[in-house]
Amino acid sequence: MIIVLRIIHVLIGISLITLILLQNSKGGLGSAFGGGEVYRTRRGTEKVVFLATIVFACIFLLTSIISLLLRA
């Protein structure tokens, strides 16, 4: 059970890294200080990647907590 959970955890981690690297880098903290556009909506593939990143981050957190609880 623990081995399967660790394999899933590693695969989710790799997927999360990939999704983060696929995101557009124009929406960083620099736009908060006057650079770039004031408001921009995500559309199409960018929105799907953004939402998938949130879902994978939540799954990664959940598998981390489950792994911690099973270890104790």
* Amino acid at the residue 29: L
What does the pLDDT average to over 49-72? Answer: 94
- pLDDT of the residue at 37: 57
Helices (H) and strands (E) in the chain, counts: 2, 0
Task: Tell me the residue length of the chain.
Answer: 72
Q: Which pLDDT score, from 0 to 100, does residue 32 have?
A: 56
User: For 38-63, what is the mean pLDDT?
Assistant: 88
Average pLDDT (49-60) is: 96
Question: pTM score, two decimals?
Answer: 0.76
The predicted-structure confidence for 23-44, as pLDDT tens digits, reads as follows 877 655 555 565 555 566 778 8
DSSP element (H, E) containing 62: helix 45-71
